[in-house]
Amino acid sequence: MEYSQVISTNYGKIKWGTVGKQTLEGLRNEFPSYPNTPEGWKGYAKNWVGREWENNSLQVATLNQVHGNTIHSIPPLSETTSPDLIAEGDGLYTESPNTLLVVRTADCVPVFIYSHKRPFIAIVHSGWKGTSLGITERMLEEILRLGYELEELHMEIGPYIQAEDYEVGGDVAAHFLPLGEEVCRPKALGKFLLDVGLAIERRVRERFGTSIVIRNSRINVYKSPLYFSHRAKEEGRNLNFILWES
């Protein structure tokens, strides 16, 4: 895997990361072209899971991603009435073991969240639209509503396009200029350079304070040969995942 992290907790292992070009090259025989439907992408993800993971009983959850702020809870497989249903949204969370949550990115930000005390994992797909709509804050609000505490939460920001390569117009920049020039700085001719990952960090800190642990990988998908980038005119997508393995 191009980016992979593992941490042991008192309730099991949490694994999260981002799978890119080299790993997904192994799917080319089954998928000579990239999927163009949510159903196709779920099949693609399940094919990768079947190759990568020894545990064949994993429940795989994906989304019909729409660059919004809708999040969904994934129940245990035994309680799922429609296991093949693909919900529309950009965030997933679960309190169930052996459930692999997956979102796709090309330049957008993957956000991984877990508790180091109690069984809980979540994943968010956040582009500039989702960030401006506060999808990560919405996920954290839901986590707190469920009874978790900020002090037990860890938030990891995975590979995404960095500011030096992400130029946006004034209409997009207007959503982020109040966060400071580190987040969104003017370039020339009415253009701006935007760091969406840092914008997420700033917004979370402003809303929830410093109790939650936040780490940013600072991996630039546009410059790295390991990852797909939409701005580099690539059709593939990186698969971002998180799993509580009991």
Alpha helices by DSSP H, listed for 103-165, are 128-133, 135-145
Whether the CB-CB separation of 125 and 91 falls below 8 Å is answered with yes
16: helix, strand or coil: strand
- The predicted-structure confidence for 129-149, as pLDDT tens digits, reads as follows 999 999 999 999 999 999 999
User: What's the helix, strand, coil split of the chain in %, to 5?
Assistant: 30, 30, 40
Q: Is 165 part of a structural domain of the chain? A: no
pLDDT for 81 equals 67
pLDDT mean by block of 10 residues, the chain; 246 residues: 94 97 95 96 96 87 98 87 85 96 98 97 98 98 98 98 98 98 96 98 98 97 97 97 94
d(CA 124, CA 121): 11
Question: Per the domain annotation, does 179 fall within a domain?
Answer: no
Token pair belonging to 44: 């693609």
Distance (Å, rounded) from C-alpha 182 to C-alpha 84?
A: 42
CA angle 19, 22, 25 (to 5 degrees): 100
User: What was the pLDDT predicted at 184?
Assistant: 98
Give Cβ neighbours of residue 209 (< 8 Å, ≥ 6 apart). 150
Per the domain annotation, does 182 fall within a domain? Answer: no
Q: How far apart are CA 109 and CA 101, in angstroms?
A: 15
How far is the C-alpha of 228 from the C-alpha of 47, rounded, in Å? 18
Examine residue 196 and state whether it is found in any structural domain, yes or no. no
Regarding beta strands 91-94 and 121-126, do their DSSP bridges make them parallel or antiparallel, or are they unpaired?
antiparallel
Domain at 59, CATH number? 3.60.140.10
Establish if 116 belongs to a structural domain.
yes
Secondary structure (3-state) at 210: coil
Cβ-contact 68, 134 below 8 angstroms: no
Give the three-state DSSP class for 144: helix
Residue 193 included in any domain: no
The answer to whether position 32 is within a domain reads yes
What pLDDT, on the 0 to 100 scale, is given for residue 54?
Answer: 81
Number of domains in the chain: 1
Q: What is the pLDDT of residue 246?
A: 84
Range of the domain at 237: 3-160+210-245
Q: What is the pLDDT of residue 56?
A: 75
